[in-house]
């Protein structure tokens, strides 16, 4: 067993290595195609390995572009993106490769394993959906569209990052920072005594949640929700090309094309599911929002605005539930939280995290080998603190997939990335409870990739998993972040070592569903909007019109007209969630059922944990996600656990 090592190296050398590997792959794949008799062993095994290794090199470059963004990363990534897009488009439209798949399936169907048959069936499906049988002129247009889309998605993402980094709110009057937590003030304080707040989430949320000056809150909010206006044209072009691509491939809309790769059957089925939740959630959310408005008015806020929601929500939670989020941060110091959460996860799943010292792209990155039964089985890189050169948000990036080379297992590796409050000198990174949820969420993704036992690269880890099931393991694990059994592993005061009291833990649990219906509607707004724009694929104004209509249907807080959140909706315009944002709720149905099976049977039930790993985590994309779920759960998922999780009556 061995790892592929992450080499810090210079980015230009990685680029050169990628281009050389791409050229080598093209030559070797041509040689595979020319084999007189093709078998799984002599064709599919090397074919998967060639593409996996190319992806691993490109993932390093893409990863550095996200976490150490610079003019050099922009230039190299932008240069290589069309190249890898063209490479994979050429492969997906090569009838000779499809013929090889079909030949192998025909000859070896009775002797291949179930996993190998899934590699073949998925591959044949993907070739068909890529237009392999279309006329050459149509295929050429499809290739051009794919290259343009990859470039536009990169533009969208870079525009968001540039706009985020370009804005600064400088506050000179000390009265305007009264009430902001000391840890946030230390991060914001400048040498001249002023305070700087930015659009990076830890900084932005600090002022939006605690800043007492409503005018400054509105200024910051407006900058955040109107950033990257140049993305209005970019997203219009993306939708136009996606519509054309779907049409060329024989689909009535891009949403239907997208769903061809997912568990859900069609757009109507998904919209029905989303509106069913909205029907239950909206009456509750309307009461929550009215309570919030009335509370704000009682505090003298005559004109309640969207920029006031976070501030008064926090104040209402503090007064009505005697809950102060800031009181928890000293108990959630990042280093202790990471170490303790890994101990909890280790006990839950029977694994161990061992921190190792190796060179990485930043001094604050931590690296862990994961062990099971005293054997190292995977490696995790954790880059969790915010930096100016890092893209916003949090994510897991699967880097190396578990696979076999010459009878030797290459072990999987993954990156988890966050934007938690940065540590600074003697000032540690103190997390909010929501940050802990984020950590657990990304670890759920990581474990799905790292604990796999599948060694076919195309189905190993999260590869080959239907997109609307990818969030299942992440949402499952994040639910434990509020459980007493988990908090007891890491919630200790960073100065005194005092454990978080049972009373404070219970308060945290009690607040889990505070304004939960409002939060549910926000997610439904995103998901319905995503599906509808990918059904119609309108122009920039049409996108806004659809968003306005969806908000009228499901939102209880209608934002101001300058709110153009779509221009920063990277999940669907620069990520993998186009016509798939509903996946968060779709997968949450599975995760809620699984989570309450643990809660109701005892969290540390070894048989249950083994079943979850054996039937879900270890299987990768080797079977359909719904079949894997039913193998674990014993039946179809039920709606009641989801409503229980959301705190809403079914």
pLDDT tens, residue by residue, 548-598: 999 999 999 999 999 999 999 999 999 889 999 999 999 999 999 999 999
Last residue of a domain, one of 581, 612, 639: 581
Distances (CA, A) of 372 to 227, 248, 377, 396, 621: 46, 48, 7, 21, 22
Q: What percent of the chain has pLDDT over 90?
A: 93
Beta partners for residue 368, in sequence order = 355, 380
CA gap 298, 316 in Å, rounded: 11
Last residue of a domain, one of 526, 547, 581: 581
pLDDT at 650 over 60: no
DSSP 534-602: HHH---HHHHHHHHHHHHHHH-SSPPPTT--GGGG-HHHHSSS-TTTTTHHHHHHHHHHHHHHHHHHH-
Q: Is residue 606 part of a domain?
A: no
Q: How confident is the model at residue 10 (pLDDT cuts 50, 70, 90)?
A: confident
Whether residue 351 contacts residue 366, with contact meaning beta carbons closer than 8 Å, is answered with no
Over range 621-646, report the average pLDDT.
94
Distance, first Cα to last Cα, the chain: 49
pLDDT of 32: 98
Same domain, yes or no, for 309 and 355?
A: no
Same domain, yes or no, for 552 and 525?
A: yes
The domain of 311 spans 231-323+515-581
Same domain, yes or no, for 500 and 546?
A: no
pLDDT at 522 over 80: yes
Q: What is the pLDDT of residues 399-408, one digit of tens each?
A: 999 999 988 9
Q: Which residues contact 248 (CB under 8 A, 6 or more apart)?
A: 131, 134, 138, 141, 142, 145
pLDDT at 78 over 90: yes
Helix (H) or strand (E) holding 109: none
Same domain, yes or no, for 350 and 308?
A: no
Same domain, yes or no, for 189 and 134?
A: no
Torsion of CA 404, 405, 411, 413, to 10 degrees: -110
Q: What is the pLDDT of residues 13-26, one digit of tens each?
A: 999 999 999 999 99
The pTM score is: 0.91
Whether residue 469 contacts residue 263, with contact meaning beta carbons closer than 8 Å, is answered with yes
Structure token digits, residue 534:
């990918």
Same domain, yes or no, for 523 and 378?
A: no
Top pLDDT among 393 and 32 is at: 32
**How wide is the angle at C-alpha 466 spanned by C-alphas 460 and 467, nearest 5°?**
110
Same domain, yes or no, for 459 and 539?
A: no
Whether residue 201 contacts residue 419, with contact meaning beta carbons closer than 8 Å, is answered with yes
Torsion of CA 81, 84, 86, 89, to 10 degrees: -120
Same domain, yes or no, for 467 and 359?
A: yes
Q: What is the pLDDT of residues 256-287, one digit of tens each?
A: 999 999 999 999 999 999 999 999 999 999 99
Give me the half-sphere count of Cα atoms (radius 13 Å) on the Cβ side of residue 549: 11
Over range 595-619, report the average pLDDT.
96
Same domain, yes or no, for 28 and 150?
A: yes
Q: Is residue 174 part of a domain?
A: yes
Distances (CA, A) of 281 to 278, 290, 310, 317, 590: 5, 14, 20, 20, 19
Same domain, yes or no, for 182 and 295?
A: no
Same domain, yes or no, for 356 and 296?
A: no
Last residue of a domain, one of 510, 525, 549: 510
pLDDT of 649: 65
Same domain, yes or no, for 501 and 532?
A: no
Q: Which residues contact 52 (CB under 8 A, 6 or more apart)?
A: 401, 403, 457
Q: Is residue 364 part of a domain?
A: yes
CATH of the domain at 454: 1.10.1370.40
Indicate the number of domains in the chain: 4
pLDDT of 617: 97
Over range 329-355, report the average pLDDT.
97
How much is the mean pLDDT over the chain? 95
> Which sequence positions are flagged as catalytic?
442
Closest CA to 34 of 97, 101, 114: 97
Residue 599 burial (CB count, 10 A): 15
Structure token digits, residue 308:
């006031």
Q: Is residue 460 part of a domain?
A: yes
pLDDT at 130 over 60: yes
């Amino acid at each position: 067993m061995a790892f592929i090592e992450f080499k810090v190296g210079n980015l230009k050398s990685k680029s050169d290595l990628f281009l050389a590997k791409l050229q080598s792959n093209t030559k070797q794949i041509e040689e595979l195609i020319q084999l007189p008799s093709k078998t799984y062993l002599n064709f599919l095994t090397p074919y998967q390995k060639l593409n996996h290794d190319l992806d691993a090199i490109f993932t390093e470059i893409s990863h550095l572009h996200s976490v150490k963004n610079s003019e050099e990363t922009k230039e190299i990534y932008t240069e290589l993106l069309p190249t890898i897009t063209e490479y994979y488009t050429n492969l997906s439209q090569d009838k000779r490769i499809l013929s090889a798949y079909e030949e192998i399936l025909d000859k070896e169907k009775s002797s291949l394993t179930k996993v190998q048959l899934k590699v073949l069936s998925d591959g044949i499906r993907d070739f068909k959906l890529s237009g392999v049988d279309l006329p050459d002129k149509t295929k050429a247009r499809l290739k051009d569209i794919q290259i343009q889309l990859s470039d536009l998605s990169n533009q969208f993402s870079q525009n968001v990052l540039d706009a985020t980094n370009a804005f600064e709110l400088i506050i000179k009057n000390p009265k305007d920072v009264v009430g902001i937590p000391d840890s946030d003030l230390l991060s914001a304080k400048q040498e001249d005594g002023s305070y700087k707040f930015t659009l990076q989430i830890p900084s932005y949320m600090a002022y939006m949640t605690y800043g007492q000056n409503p005018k400054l809150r509105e200024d910051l909010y407006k900058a955040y929700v109107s950033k990257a206006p140049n993305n209005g044209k970019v997203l219009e072009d993306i939708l136009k090309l996606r519509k054309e691509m779907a049409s060329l491939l024989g689909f009535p809309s891009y949403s239907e094309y997208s769903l061809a790769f997912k568990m859900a059957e069609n757009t109507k089925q998904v919209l029905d599911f989303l509106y069913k939740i909205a029907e239950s959630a909206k009456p509750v959310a309307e009461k929550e929002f009215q309570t919030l408005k009335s509370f704000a008015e009682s505090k003298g806020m005559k004109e309640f605005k969207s920029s006031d929601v976070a501030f008064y929500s926090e104040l209402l939670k503090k007064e009505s539930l005697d809950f102060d989020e800031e009181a928890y941060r000293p108990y959630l110091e990042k280093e202790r939280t990471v170490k303790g959460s890994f101990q909890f996860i280790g006990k839950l799943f029977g694994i161990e995290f061992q921190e190792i010292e190796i060179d990485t792209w930043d001094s604050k990155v931590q690296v862990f080998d994961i062990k099971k039964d005293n054997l190292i089985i995977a490696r995790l890189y954790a880059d969790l603190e915010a930096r100016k050169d890092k893209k916003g948000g949090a994510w897991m990036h699967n880097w190396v997939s578990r696979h076999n080379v010459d009878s030797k297992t290459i072990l999987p590796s993954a990156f988890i990335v966050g934007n938690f409050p940065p540590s600074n000198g003697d000032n540690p990174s103190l997390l909010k409870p929501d940050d802990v949820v984020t950590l657990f969420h990304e670890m759920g993704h990581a474990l799905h990739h790292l604990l796999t036992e599948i060694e076919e690269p195309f189905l190993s880890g999260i590869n080959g998993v239907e997109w609307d099931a990818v969030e299942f393991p992440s949402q499952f694990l994040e639910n434990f972040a509020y459980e007493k059994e988990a908090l007891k592993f890491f919630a200790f005061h960073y100065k005194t070592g005092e454990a978080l009291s049972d009373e404070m833990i219970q308060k945290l649990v009690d607040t889990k569903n505070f304004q939960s219906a409002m939060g549910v509607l926000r997610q439904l707004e995103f998901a319905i909007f995503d599906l509808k724009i990918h059904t119609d694929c309108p122009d920039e104004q049409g996108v806004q019109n659809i968003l306005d209509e969806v908000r009228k249907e499901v939102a209880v807080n209608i934002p101001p007209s300058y709110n153009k959140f779509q221009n920063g909706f990277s999940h669907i315009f620069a990520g993998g969630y186009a016509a798939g944002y509903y996946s968060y709720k779709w997968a949450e149905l599975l995760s809620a059922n699984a989570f309450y099976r643990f809660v109701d049977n005892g969290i540390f039930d070894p048989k249950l944990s083994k079943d979850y790993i054996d039937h879900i985590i270890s299987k990768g994309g080797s079977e359909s996600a719904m079949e894997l779920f039913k193998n674990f759960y014993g039946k179809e998922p039920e709606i009641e656990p989801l409503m229980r999780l959301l705190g809403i009556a079914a």
